[in-house]
Amino acid sequence: MARRPLPRILSNGSAQLARSRELARTAADSATDVLHPLITITRGLRRLAAAGRRRWADTPKERRGALLFLVASVILVVALVPYGPLLAVITLMTAAAWQGRDRAPASPDGPDEMQSRRLKSLYEALVPYFSTAEDPEPLYAHGGAWDKAFPTYAFDGGGRISHLVVRYPAYFTDSEAEARARIEHLLVAKSGRGREYHFTWDEEGNQLTVGVLLPLPVDITAQRFVTAPGETVLGFTDPTEVRRTLPLTYGEQRRDVPPVVWRTGLRSTEPHLLALGQPGSGTSTLLRSIALQALQHGDVVIVDGGGTGEYACLTGRDGVLAVECGLTGALASLEWAATETERRLIAANRAHQAGQPPPDDTKRPLWILLDRPTAFTHLAAADDRKDPQSLLQVPLRHGRPAHVTVVVADQLDCLDALSEPVRQHTRARVVLGPATAEQLESALGAPPHTTPVDQVPPGRGYARLGTGPVHRLQVPATPNPYDDATPDAHREAVLALLPPRTTPADGETVPEPDGVPGEPEPVPTDREPEPAPVAVASKTPEPQPEPVPVQVAETPEPQPERVPVVTKDPLPNPVPVLTKPTEAKRG
């Protein structure tokens, strides 16, 4: 069956339709020009009528009769005067034309004298970088016209450049980082310091777009973010960098802010994080924010190398396995974390070989948060003990299949003091506080597209997840609630997010619930892999002949809490079964 051809207007009538639209648009523009006086007079009559109605509404009722008599008298006089009606109509049309005129201020055709002088100065400064003697028609030349080089520009209220498009010749080496850095440094110096600029290089069009970035909001406090399990909000960035927004609460107000979301888990390409910054830049705030989010679905082990008590609010909380500030406790906790990672891997491997799903105790996320681990390096070297960073090799290398995540925060100057596994396996990077472009490139692996400033608020910096772009970052305010300098609003926000305190602060004994309604059971007795090595021997309610002696023998340096239980002061009932004399009698 032969196909019927399309109508001519659909097959080859696109040009006719385009011409018809153009003719219609031209006729409309012409009609608007012709009828412009009539449109102006009509607008003026409408405004005069509205003014008359307002005047009548504002007149008191007792004076409206006198006003009506005055208007009627004027109309009668105008009607009796020769040519009065004609003069009245002309006067009314003139008043309507005056009231109906376009009152919008006319925008200036070009920059004023001060703006022209600033653009001329910037043009002259770029001449040595964008000109060469062999160019027959140079775009940049001393005494040349700057309007060809700057097709688009904008100024803020202070007279400084806020937006600029720079054209440059094709022979400029825009693919070299050094050449770009020189131009960006010059534009920042001539446009105004103290602001953050964003540079967009268009190599194909030989154009550079310079924009001034607005400051990121610093009033975002800690709160429950709308995220899925395995997603952690590091902070917030510019709306043009990410496509996702999160609803945030500001008292009674709500607004959407674009976040920087870090994804962990089995399918994550950046399973571990490294945060660097100067003292007071907000790295501890970032770790507290991550800990509060991680406690919703997992367990946390915290090692504080600073020893300032920044994480005391998390001690004894539900899901917090340990908060260590000393070298001995840090070694014991990290050694248990390495053993727990191996146990999870072995259990998951056996389940996979048997064709079964992994056990539930291997799928609960375990977070290891370390603040300033390099401080323990010097202490360990002085006491001739093991460096705690050496115990992170197993969680860093095999943590992703075991649902173990490591977050390390340290000072920016101590980057070289971090161990090789830490630098190699922490592909998600955050740099907070003031830093030079060289430091940012060394820590993040790529230079940012914005210019860093010297003075920034706490929690302000840059973030890069793997090989992705570099984002500006503002960490939500999560201060220490026990600090006297913390504002009341921020303290209440952090305390509202803390889990209930279900275990004692020392972590030695956990009493069984005596039928108290509403009291949750202790977390370490529900899950076997969670208790730290310090609490293993004391929290076992039933005698176990084999696992406990092996665990005691593997610990190279017994903790002070464990010695009274194992050797000196045996407790009644189950404890004598765990002691070494019992094993001797068996032998």
Q: CA-to-CA distance for 441 and 450, rounded, in angstroms? A: 12
Nearest to 45 by CA among 102, 96, 98: 96
> Which segments within 237-319 are labelled E, that is strand?
246-250, 253-257, 259-263, 273-277, 299-304
Unique residue bearing structure tokens 């529900």: 526
In the chain, what is the greatest distance between 2 CA atoms, to the nearest angstrom? 138
Q: Is 253 labelled as part of a ligand binding site?
A: no
Please, are residues 475 and 285 in contact by the beta-carbon 8 Å criterion? yes
What does the block give as tokens for 357?
């799903």
Q: Is 279 labelled as part of a ligand binding site?
A: yes
Instruction: Look up residue 362 and give its DSSP letter.
Output: G
pLDDT at 15: 56
Instruction: Look up residue 344 and give its DSSP letter.
Output: H
Q: Which residues of 183-193 are buried (b: 16+ CB within 10 A; e: fewer)?
A: bbeebbebbbe
pLDDT tens for each residue of 180-227: 989 998 998 888 877 889 899 999 999 999 999 888 888 889 999 999
Sequence-distant contacts of 393-398: CB under 8 A, at least 24 apart:
393/338, 393/419, 393/421, 394/338, 394/341, 394/342, 395/337, 395/338, 395/341, 395/368, 396/272, 396/421, 396/422, 396/424, 396/425, 396/426, 397/421, 397/425, 398/341, 398/342, 398/345
pLDDT tens for each residue of 157-177: 888 888 999 999 999 998 888
Beta bridge partners of 153: 164
Lowest mean pLDDT among 149-163, 269-283, 407-421: 149-163
pLDDT tens for each residue of 7-60: 544 444 555 666 677 777 777 777 777 777 888 888 888 888 888 888 888 888
Backbone angles phi, psi at 273, to 5 degrees: -130, 145
Cβ burial of 308 (10 Å; 0-12, 13-18, 19+) is: middle
Provide the pairing of β-strand 404-411 with 428-432: unpaired
Q: Is 73 labelled as part of a ligand binding site?
A: no
Beta bridge partners of 235: 260
Q: CA-to-CA distance for 75 and 71, rounded, in angstroms? A: 6
Distance of CA 343 to the CA centre of its chain: 35
Nearest to 230 by CA among 308, 132, 297: 297
pLDDT at 276: 95
Residue 423: which region, alpha, beta or left (left: phi > 0; alpha: psi -120 to 50)? alpha
Please, are residues 184 and 199 in contact by the beta-carbon 8 Å criterion? yes
Collect all residues with Cβ–Cβ distance below 8 Å to 227 and sequence separation of at least 6. Answer: 233, 246, 261, 293
Please, are residues 238 and 213 in contact by the beta-carbon 8 Å criterion? yes
Instruction: Inform me whether the pLDDT recorded for 428 exceeds 90.
Output: yes
Instruction: Look up residue 90 and give its DSSP letter.
Output: H
Provide the pairing of β-strand 207-212 with 161-167: antiparallel
Q: CA-to-CA distance for 165 and 156, rounded, in angstroms? A: 15
Collect all residues with Cβ–Cβ distance below 8 Å to 554 and sequence separation of at least 6. Answer: 339
Sign of torsion over alpha carbons 167, 168, 170, 173:
negative
Q: Percent of the chain at pLDDT above 90? A: 42
Model pTM greater than 0.85?
no
Instruction: Look up residue 567 and give its DSSP letter.
Output: I
Average pLDDT, the chain: 81
Please, are residues 114 and 160 in contact by the beta-carbon 8 Å criterion? no
Q: CA-to-CA distance for 122 and 145, rounded, in angstroms? A: 12
Q: Is 278 labelled as part of a ligand binding site?
A: yes
pLDDT tens for each residue of 84-109: 888 888 888 888 888 887 666 555 55
Q: Which residue has the higher pLDDT, 532 or 409?
A: 409
C-alpha dist (Å) from residue 108 to 120, 157, 161, 574: 18, 15, 17, 91
Please, are residues 186 and 126 in contact by the beta-carbon 8 Å criterion? yes
What does the block give as tokens for 558?
């017994």
pLDDT at 108: 57
Rounded to an integer, the average pLDDT of 492-510 is 73
Q: Which residue has the higher pLDDT, 396 or 583?
A: 396
Q: Percent of the chain at pLDDT above 70? A: 80
What does the block give as tokens for 373?
């681990």
Lowest mean pLDDT among 218-222, 479-483, 503-507: 503-507
pLDDT at 105: 58
Residues, the chain, total?
587
Collect all residues with Cβ–Cβ distance below 8 Å to 84 and sequence separation of at least 6. Answer: 77, 78
**Helix ranges, 426-546 (H):** 437-444, 488-497, 523-526
Instruction: Inform me whether the pLDDT recorded for 576 exceeds 50.
Output: no
Instruction: Inform me whether the pLDDT recorded for 282 exceeds 60.
Output: yes
